[in-house]
């Protein structure tokens, strides 16, 4: 059992760049282009790892620590994730709180590294990066309150492992639909996707996440990229488990179903990015706030039924 | 054949939209006569309604109906002359709306079903909105907008209240028709909590239409912007219609034994209205707004009297009837002043006494009457209410009531004296057609006559109506 | 488990939140149209026995509330081509939060009341309260005259919901009279809106302040 979980964890990390490439492919398709190969992200990573890093003389060790810590935090978080509905490697009651603070830790070090460069643009990006996820965190904790109300447990495995998601649907019914949408908005925000942020923009003024990593290069940048692939994988798995809550009983069919639903989530992200224009910076908070609203709303109507 | 009264004026109203305005004016008077005739025949014969589930002839309904008829008849005569002098772009819309307005008000007085009542009262708002916008100015537009929005939202509350009354029936496990008479009959077994909630909502809703503070904001604007015949109708009879809705709900409350609760709330709203009128009336600069605040005061008096019950409720009924007669006469007279001086601002008007002597008599008489001097009926009504307040032990309220009335008298007197006697530049007499004078005289005279001698049937009807809300001697 | 009735009622609640957060008039009108449709089909889902006439009446209500009334407003703003943004008195984000608090409060309040005929639906009473108060909030919190009309329509939706569900005896011909009144009111408001635009060149209710006291 442990071995299987271990393999799944490794597979998750290995396949995360592949899934991210799907988004690029979809966007290219909507733009009427052929798009890069599905393995593009692996090529980028290997290219980056072959280079060496360049450090500004004004930076300290924090700048070097940033990418490392944030990647490690993300990889640790993946340990708690019941991938494909299979039992997670580590799980204890209350681990959800730990998970979200781990993600917070990763973000803190990214921000700290960005501030360390003393570049005004990176400071601006850091401020934004700090601001939007505040609302996201509120949303996540609302969702946790909801899940806790439903299951009475505080661990990721209790919500997403095996047949648990199906049970959630049974208990909360339609309000879980709002949860899915809310989680999807969190996914877009946390991973700096359009319409909140544009990973491909070339103007520092409009960047959020990208501007913070401008000064990173070589393997450091590679670590950051890998971290962001894994982070997206984490959120996408949560959504995927909710939209496809079935348990086939065996590992392999489960993996198939899970991969299919993951694919769906990534395609949806790609389509969203293609059809929605990026929001103006002052309307972004309202968009992110709507995820909080949905989560809160789901709680209200669910509590009404459980009382 | 009761529904015929509603239908005739409605049809005439539709017709008026399409015929030339000369015929339209005649139609107005003809319908006024027919309506008066039918209303009187209602008093004589007391027929049954065809759709008994929705309509019924009740004592309070007949009282309001006869006032409406009489007023509309006199106002229609006044309007013919008024329209000749006034330059109104769309006279057909004005006449048509007047007639439909009459029809909807008649429907209010005759309706018995709670929802039909609501439909009729909302319809009065809609039918009278074009009347306020007659002059097509920016201010008129604003007044109309305020009127429609405030009244519609307010009356929506009353609809909610009506729904709650039905819930009160369900909660009491009774199956009776949702009519005022039906509910009064079974009121004892209705659920008191829902009943109270329903009453409060209905009071707020219809109270908006009646002009009770703090929901009165639309009233001064609408009254001052509408042409005088329309203002006379709005102030004279429309608010009676709204009061009728509250009155009938109050009947249910009394039948359910919750008269103390409803009385207390009515008294609070009444006192707030009187106080609000007393505060605002002092700084008014336009005479029609002045009269509007006086209406708010009078509606406060009526609500206060109804709340006191006993002899006060009788006084309130007297006040209501006399207020209709006097206030509509005052608004018609203000139309004369408006046409004579071409101005609504008090500062620019003066020496009414020498420039328009006969109008002055009607105006000053109306002022004396509305502020509650004998020999006019308001005096009797207010007197009875004060006596009633002391009898039931509401000394403090009675004192506030009297002080406010004195303040309002002072405010009105100050401005009216300016209009009547202040110096003006020009001195020449202004001619006023006869038809724009005698309706006011008739209205004031009726008020005087009614305070000395009241026909037996009228007295009995008032007593019957008042008894149902715990009033009487 | 949530039944179909509560599912669509939660959509109504969501539409209230959305209407608090949107700044575009056409969007606001569409939300109200959606709300009108959903509110008018609620009686079909109550599970009472319904005669053919009542079903036809419900469908007519749906057409009037969901199509004709929003269309009136839409044509009014289209004809006069006014600015399509709503100026808020209370900001949009704050409005959304107020909306959430409102829903929560309505849910809490509704637990204290027992309406005999709707005991099987948990959301009906709180949806009604939210619609009523939410409509009033729109009336107060937006400076645009059209948004005020939409607030009124939202209130009316709430009252309709109350009227059709709170009492078993309510399905009646008089409901039709109410509908006609509301329709006429909205039409008159639409006409006034056009005139306001012609007279003031804008829909800002701050311009409607010449008459005071």
Q: CA neighbours within 13 Å on the CB side: how many for C186?
A: 28
CB-based burial label for A232 (10 Å; 0-12, 13-18, 19+):
buried
Residues A118, A67 contacting (CB under 8 angstroms) = no
Distances (CA, A) of C87 to A49, B405, C31, C197, C202: 52, 43, 18, 16, 12
Instruction: Check residue C152 and give its pLDDT.
Output: 93
Instruction: Check residue B342 and give its pLDDT.
Output: 86
Residues B330, B366 contacting (CB under 8 angstroms) = yes
pLDDT digits (tens, 9 = 90+) for A158-167: 898 888 888 8
pLDDT digits (tens, 9 = 90+) for B270-310: 999 999 999 999 888 899 999 999 999 999 999 999 999 88
Helix axes B357-370, B311-341, angle to 10 degrees: 150
CA nearest to B75, candidates B48, B102, B55: B102
pLDDT band, residue B406 (cuts 50/70/90): very high
Phi, psi (5° rounding) for residue A214?
A: -55, -35
User: B280 contacts in C (CB within 8 Å)?
Assistant: 213
| Block residue for tokens 């709670």 | B114
Q: If you average pLDDT over residues C68-83, what whole number do you get?
A: 79
Q: If you average pLDDT over residues A180-208, what whole number do you get?
A: 85
Report helix, strand or coil for A149.
Answer: helix
User: B149 contacts in C (CB within 8 Å)?
Assistant: 139, 148-149, 152, 189
pLDDT over 70 (residue A65): yes
Higher pLDDT, B349 or A1: B349
Q: If you average pLDDT over residues A236-245, what whole number do you get?
A: 92
**Is the CB of C123 less than 8 angstroms away from the CB of A301?**
yes
Helix axes B456-467, B59-85, angle to 10 degrees: 120
**Is the CB of C14 less than 8 angstroms away from the CB of A175?**
no
CB-based burial label for B330 (10 Å; 0-12, 13-18, 19+):
buried
Total Cβ atoms within 10 A of residue B421: 13
Q: HEC profile for chain B? A: CCHHHHHHHHHHHHHHCCCCHHHHHHHHHHHHHHHHHHHHHHHHHCCCCCCCCCECCCHHHHHHHHHHHHHHHHHHHHHHHHHHHCCCCCHHHHHHHHHHHHHHHHHHHHECEHHHHHHHHHHHHHHHHHHHCCCCCHHHHHHHHHHHHHHHHHHHHHHHHHHHHHHHHHHCCCCCCCEHHHHHHHHHHCCHHHHHHHHHHHHHHHHHHHCCCCCCCHHHHHHHHCCHHHHHHHHHHHHHHHHHHHHHHHHHHHHCCCHHHHHHHHHHHHHHHHHHHHHHHCCCCEHHHHHHHHHHHHHHHHHHHHHHCEHHHHHHHHHHHHHHHHHHHHHHHHHHHHHHHCCCEHHHCCCHHHHCHHHHHHHHHHHHHHCCCCCCHHHHHHHHHHHHHHHCCCHHHHHHHHHHHHHHHHHHHHHHHHHHHCCCCCCCCCCCCHHHCHHHHHHHHHHHHHHHCCCHHHHHHHHHHHHCCCECC
From CA B353, how far away is CA B271, in angstroms rounded? 35
A 172-211 near C (Cβ less than 8 A): 172-175, 178
Phi, psi (5° rounding) for residue C85?
A: -105, 145
Q: Cβ of A305 under 8 Å from any chain C Cβ?
A: yes
- Minimal Cα–Cα distance from A303 to chain C, Å? 9
- Which token pair is C85? 């943004």
Instruction: Check residue B33 and give its pLDDT.
Output: 95
**Is the CB of C96 less than 8 angstroms away from the CB of A303?**
no
pLDDT over 80 (residue B136): yes
- Which token pair is C174? 């008089």
Q: B113 to chain C: nearest residue by CA? A: C174
Residues A26, A271 contacting (CB under 8 angstroms) = yes
User: B163 contacts in C (CB within 8 Å)?
Assistant: 159, 162-163, 166-167, 170
From CA C170, how far away is CA C150, in angstroms rounded? 25
pLDDT over 60 (residue A307): no
CA nearest to B339, candidates B227, B263, B242: B227
From CA A258, how far away is CA A279, in angstroms rounded? 31
Domain count for chain B, please give it.
1
pLDDT band, residue C134 (cuts 50/70/90): very high
**DSSP 8-class letter at C112:** T
User: C148 contacts in B (CB within 8 Å)?
Assistant: 149
Q: If you average pLDDT over residues C24-33, what whole number do you get?
A: 90
| Block residue for tokens 């996820």 | A133
Q: B223 to chain C: nearest residue by CA? A: C211
C 7-66 near B (Cβ less than 8 A): none
Residues C6, A302 contacting (CB under 8 angstroms) = no
Neighbors of chain B with 3 or more C-beta pairs under 8 Å: C
From CA B287, how far away is CA B337, in angstroms rounded? 10
Report helix, strand or coil for C144.
Answer: strand
**Is the CB of A285 less than 8 angstroms away from the CB of C103?**
no
Q: What is the pTM of this model?
A: 0.87
Distances (CA, A) of C126 to B167, C6, C91, C110: 16, 11, 24, 6
Q: Cβ of A92 under 8 Å from any chain C Cβ?
A: no
Phi, psi (5° rounding) for residue B432?
A: -125, 130
**DSSP 8-class letter at A279:** P
pLDDT digits (tens, 9 = 90+) for A8-31: 999 999 999 999 999 999 999 998
- Bridge partners of B179? B113
User: C142 contacts in B (CB within 8 Å)?
Assistant: none
Instruction: Check residue C111 and give its pLDDT.
Output: 80
The ipTM value here is 0.92
Structural domain that includes position A52: 2-306
Q: Cβ of B135 under 8 Å from any chain C Cβ?
A: no
Q: Which residues contact C146 (CB under 8 A, 6 or more apart)?
A: C25, C73, C76, C77, C82, C86, C193, C203
From CA B430, how far away is CA B423, in angstroms rounded? 16
pLDDT over 70 (residue C82): no
Instruction: Check residue C213 and give its pLDDT.
Output: 55
pLDDT band, residue C211 (cuts 50/70/90): low
Minimum mean pLDDT among A157-161, A168-172, B241-245: which range?
A: A168-172
**Is the CB of C136 less than 8 angstroms away from the CB of B170?**
no
Instruction: Check residue A282 and give its pLDDT.
Output: 80
pLDDT over 90 (residue A70): yes
Minimum mean pLDDT among A81-85, A143-147, A206-210, B76-80: which range?
A: A206-210
A 228-247 near C (Cβ less than 8 A): none
B 36-65 near C (Cβ less than 8 A): 54
**Is the CB of C2 less than 8 angstroms away from the CB of A178?**
no
| Block residue for tokens 């106080």 | B275
CB-based burial label for B48 (10 Å; 0-12, 13-18, 19+):
exposed
- Minimal Cα–Cα distance from C1 to chain A, Å? 6
Residues B388, B305 contacting (CB under 8 angstroms) = yes
User: C92 contacts in A (CB within 8 Å)?
Assistant: 286
From CA B116, how far away is CA B401, in angstroms rounded? 35
Report helix, strand or coil for C124.
Answer: helix
CB-based burial label for C182 (10 Å; 0-12, 13-18, 19+):
buried
Q: Cβ of C178 under 8 Å from any chain B Cβ?
A: yes
B 319-358 near C (Cβ less than 8 A): none
Q: If you average pLDDT over residues B42-60, what whole number do you get?
A: 88
pLDDT over 90 (residue A300): no
C 157-186 near A (Cβ less than 8 A): none
Domain count for chain A, please give it.
1
- Minimal Cα–Cα distance from C5 to chain A, Å? 11
Vertex B31: Cα angle to B27 and B36 (nearest 5): 155
Q: What is the mean pLDDT of chain A?
A: 89
**Is the CB of C116 less than 8 angstroms away from the CB of B122?**
no
Chains B and A lie in contact, requiring 3 or more CB pairs less than 8 Å apart: no
Q: Cβ of B129 under 8 Å from any chain C Cβ?
A: yes
Instruction: Check residue C193 and give its pLDDT.
Output: 85
**DSSP 8-class letter at C84:** -
- Which token pair is A108? 């803190």
Q: B132 to chain C: nearest residue by CA? A: C192
Query: Best residue in A166, A171, A283, A297 to probe C by mutation, most C CBs within 10 Å?
Result: A297
**Is the CB of B170 less than 8 angstroms away from the CB of C210?**
no
Helix (H) or strand (E) holding A221, with range, is helix A218-243
- Which token pair is B416? 């009216």
- Which sign does the torsion angle of CA A169, A172, A173, A174 carry? negative
Q: What is the mean pLDDT of chain B?
A: 91
- In a domain, residue B472? The reply is no
**Is the CB of C136 less than 8 angstroms away from the CB of B178?**
no
Q: A174 to chain C: nearest residue by CA? A: C7
Query: Best residue in B101, B145, B198, B279 to probe C by mutation, most C CBs within 10 Å?
Result: B145
Cis peptide before B375 (omega within 30 of 0): yes
Q: CA neighbours within 13 Å on the CB side: how many for C76?
A: 28
Chains B and C lie in contact, requiring 3 or more CB pairs less than 8 Å apart: yes
Measured in whole angstroms, the distance separating CA C127 from the mean position of its chain's CA atoms is 11
Q: Cβ of C185 under 8 Å from any chain B Cβ?
A: yes
pLDDT over 70 (residue C169): no
Q: Cβ of A132 under 8 Å from any chain C Cβ?
A: no
Total Cβ atoms within 10 A of residue B324: 25
Q: CA neighbours within 13 Å on the CB side: how many for B309?
A: 19
Query: Best residue in C5, C10, C88 to probe A by mutation, most A CBs within 10 Å?
Result: C10
Q: If you average pLDDT over residues B33-38, what whole number do you get?
A: 94
Minimum mean pLDDT among B70-79, B138-147, B241-250, C42-51: which range?
A: C42-51
From CA B128, how far away is CA B94, in angstroms rounded? 9
Cis peptide before B106 (omega within 30 of 0): no
Residues B409, B278 contacting (CB under 8 angstroms) = no
With pLDDT > 90 as the criterion, what percentage of chain A qualifies? 48
Higher pLDDT, C173 or A279: A279
Q: Cβ of C81 under 8 Å from any chain B Cβ?
A: no
Q: Which of B439-453, C45-59, C156-170 has the highest mean pLDDT?
A: B439-453
Q: A171 to chain C: nearest residue by CA? A: C1
From CA B312, how far away is CA B387, in angstroms rounded? 7
Instruction: Check residue C1 and give its pLDDT.
Output: 46
Instruction: Check residue A283 and give its pLDDT.
Output: 83
Q: What is the mean pLDDT of chain C?
A: 83
| Block residue for tokens 């707004």 | B289
**Is the CB of A173 less than 8 angstroms away from the CB of C123?**
no
Neighbors of chain A with 3 or more C-beta pairs under 8 Å: C
With pLDDT > 90 as the criterion, what percentage of chain B qualifies? 70
Q: If you average pLDDT over residues A224-244, what whole number do you get?
A: 93
Phi, psi (5° rounding) for residue B292?
A: -60, -45
**Is the CB of C162 less than 8 angstroms away from the CB of B160?**
yes
From CA B195, how far away is CA B203, in angstroms rounded? 12
Q: Cβ of A297 under 8 Å from any chain C Cβ?
A: yes
pLDDT over 80 (residue C205): no
pLDDT over 50 (residue A223): yes
Report helix, strand or coil for A213.
Answer: coil
Structural domain that includes position B230: 3-467
């Amino acid at each position: 059992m442990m071995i299987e979980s271990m393999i799944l964890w490794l597979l998750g990390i290995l396949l995360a760049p592949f899934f991210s490439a799907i988004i690029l492919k979809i966007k290219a398709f909507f733009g009427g282009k052929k798009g890069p190969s599905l393995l593009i992200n692996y090529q980028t990573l290997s290219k980056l790892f072959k280079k060496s890093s360049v450090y500004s003389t004004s930076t300290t060790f924090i700048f070097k620590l940033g990418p490392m810590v944030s990647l490690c935090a993300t990889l640790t978080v993946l340990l708690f994730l019941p991938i494909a509905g299979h039992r997670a490697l580590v799980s204890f009651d209350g681990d959800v709180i730990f998970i979200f603070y781990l993600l917070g830790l990763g973000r803190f070090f990214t921000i700290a590294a960005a501030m360390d460069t003393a570049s005004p643009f990176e400071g601006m990006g850091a401020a934004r990066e700090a601001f939007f996820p505040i609302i996201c965190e509120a949303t996540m904790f609302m969702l946790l309150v909801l899940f806790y109300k439903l299951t009475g447990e505080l661990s990721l495995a209790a919500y997403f492992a095996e047949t648990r998601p199906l049970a959630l649907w049974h208990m909360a019914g339609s309000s879980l639909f709002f949860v899915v949408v809310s989680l999807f908005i969190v996914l877009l925000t946390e991973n700096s996707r359009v319409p909140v942020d544009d990973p491909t923009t070339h103007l520092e003024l409009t960047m959020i996440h990208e501007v913070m990593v401008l000064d990173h290069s070589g393997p450091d940048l590679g670590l950051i990229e890998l971290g962001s692939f894994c982070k997206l994988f984490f959120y996408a798995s949560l959504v995927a488990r909710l939209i496809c809550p079935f348990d086939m009983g065996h590992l392999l069919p489960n993996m198939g179903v899970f991969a299919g639903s993951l694919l769906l989530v990534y395609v949806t992200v790609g389509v969203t990015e293609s059809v929605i224009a990026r929001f103006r910076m002052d309307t972004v908070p309202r968009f992110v706030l709507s995820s909080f609203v949905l989560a809160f709303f789901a709680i209200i109507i669910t509590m009404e039924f459980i009382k | 054949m009761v529904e015929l009264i509603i239908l005739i004026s409605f049809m005439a109203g539709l017709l008026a939209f399409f015929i030339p305005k000369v015929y339209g004016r005649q139609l107005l008077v003809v319908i006024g006569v027919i309506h008066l005739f039918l209303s009187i025949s209602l008093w004589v014969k007391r027929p049954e309604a065809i759709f008994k589930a929705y309509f019924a002839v009740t004592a309070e309904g007949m009282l309001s109906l006869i006032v409406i008829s009489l007023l509309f008849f006199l106002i229609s005569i006044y309007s013919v002359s008024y329209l000749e002098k006034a330059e109104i772009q769309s006279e057909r819309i004005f006449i048509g709306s007047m007639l439909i307005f009459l029809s909807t008000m008649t429907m209010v007085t005759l309706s018995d079903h709670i929802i039909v009542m609501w439909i009729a009262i909302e319809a009065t708002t809609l039918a009278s909105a074009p009347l306020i916008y007659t002059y097509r100015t920016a201010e008129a537009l604003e007044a109309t907008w305020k009127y429609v929005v405030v009244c519609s939202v307010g009356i929506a509350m009353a609809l909610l209240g009506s729904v709650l009354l039905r819930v009160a029936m369900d909660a009491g496990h009774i199956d009776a028709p949702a009519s005022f008479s039906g509910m009064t009959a079974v009121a004892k077994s209705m659920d008191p909590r829902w009943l109270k909630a329903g009453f409060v909502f209905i009071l707020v809703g219809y109270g908006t239409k009646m002009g009770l503070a703090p929901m009165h904001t639309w009233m001064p604007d609408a009254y001052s912007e509408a042409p005088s015949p329309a203002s006379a109708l709005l102030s004279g009879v429309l608010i009676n219609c709204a009061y009728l809705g509250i009155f009938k709900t109050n009947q249910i409350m009394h039948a359910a034994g919750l008269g103390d609760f409803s009385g207390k709330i009515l008294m609070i709203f009444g006192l707030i209205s009187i106080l609000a009128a007393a505060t605002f009336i002092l700084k008014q600069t336009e005479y029609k707004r002045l009269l509007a605040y006086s209406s708010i005061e009078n509606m406060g008096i009526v609500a206060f009297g109804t709340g006191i019950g006993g002899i006060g409720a009788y006084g309130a009924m007297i006040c209501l009837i006399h207020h209709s007669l006097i206030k509509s006469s005052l608004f018609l007279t203000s139309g004369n002043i408006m046409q004579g001086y071409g101005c609504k601002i008090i500062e620019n008007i003066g020496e009414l006494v020498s420039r328009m002597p006969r109008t002055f008599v009607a105006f000053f008489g109306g002022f004396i009457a509305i502020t509650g001097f004998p020999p006019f009926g308001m005096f009797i009504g207010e007197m009875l209410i004060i006596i009633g307040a002391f009898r039931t032990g509401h000394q403090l309220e009675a004192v506030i009531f009297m002080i406010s009335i004195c303040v309002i008298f002072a405010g009105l007197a100050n401005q009216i004296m300016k209009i009547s006697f202040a110096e003006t530049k020009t001195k020449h007499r202004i001619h006023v057609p006869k038809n724009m004078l005698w309706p006011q005289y008739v209205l004031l005279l009726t008020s005087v006559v009614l305070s000395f001698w009241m026909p037996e049937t009228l007295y009995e009807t008032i007593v019957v109506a008042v008894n149902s809300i715990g009033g009487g001697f | 488990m949530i039944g179909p009735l509560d599912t669509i009622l939660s959509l109504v609640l969501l539409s209230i939140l959305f209407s608090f957060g949107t700044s575009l008039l056409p969007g606001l009108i569409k939300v109200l149209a959606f709300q009108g449709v959903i509110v008018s089909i609620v009686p079909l889902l109550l599970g009472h026995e319904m005669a053919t006439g009542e079903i036809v009446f419900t469908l007519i209500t749906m057409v009037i509330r969901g199509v004709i009334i929003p269309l009136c407003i839409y044509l009014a703003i289209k004809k006069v081509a006014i600015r399509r943004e709503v100026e808020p008195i209370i900001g949009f984000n704050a409005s959304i939060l107020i909306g959430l608090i409102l829903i929560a409060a309505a849910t809490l309040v509704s637990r204290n009341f027992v309406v005999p005929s709707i005991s099987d639906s948990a959301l009906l009473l709180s949806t009604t309260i939210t619609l009523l108060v939410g409509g009033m909030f729109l009336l107060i919190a937006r400076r645009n005259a059209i948004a005020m009309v939409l607030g009124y329509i939202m209130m009316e939706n709430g009252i309709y919901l109350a009227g059709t569900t709170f009492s078993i005896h309510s399905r009646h011909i008089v409901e039709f009279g109410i509908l006609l009144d509301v329709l006429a009111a909205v039409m008159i408001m639409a006409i006034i809106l056009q005139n306001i635009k012609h007279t003031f060149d804008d829909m800002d209710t701050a311009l409607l302040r010449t008459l005071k006291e």
